[in-house]
Amino acid sequence: MHWKRSVGGEKDMYKKPTGELDKQLAETKPGQIGEYLAANRQDLADDHKGFYYYYKDVLDSKHIMLKDVYAQVGVSESYGSKIISMEKHTKSRDLIIRFCIAGHFSLDETNRALKLYGLSSLYAKNHRDACVIVCLNNRIFDIGRINEVLEENKLEPLE
């Protein structure tokens, strides 16, 4: 088990790395899947909570408040919290990307968040996604500025 000290000094448990779970799965037979799931229950993503916990963990690590994210994204706290908690599910990939930008997510963090939300990752072969990737890689976390870059390249802004 891996431990870290949080800012307040208390211990938090790290989840098992995906690579470790992959190794376990490589050795798991079909009849052992139930055992694997039971043994690793706390390390597996919860379809309804995975995004929320991941998003909050990344924000906490960057010392960014949710209310600041909602303001930058341009949504009410009420609506934003329902989207983040997946109480109200959105099919708008752009909205989740905007939440990630407002949270100063890296490209890897953004792609993981999109995947946890059930949406496709940013794709380098897609013109629009490529512009967003370049902005994230250059630490441009201003949605307005990213929309300017998209429009400069004759691409649709993030909605």
70-80 pLDDT tens trace: 999 999 999 99
The reply to whether the predicted model has a pTM over 0.85 is: no
Which secondary structure element, helix H or strand E, spans residue 134, and what is its range?
A: helix 127-137
**pLDDT value for 48:** 57
Domain segments of the chain as ranges: 3-43, 50-152
* Residue position matching structure tokens 């370049």: 134
Report which of 62, 64, 54, 141 is spatially closest to residue 97, judged by C-alpha positions: 141
Statement: residue 5 has pLDDT above 50: no
Q: What is the CA radius of gyration of the chain?
A: 18
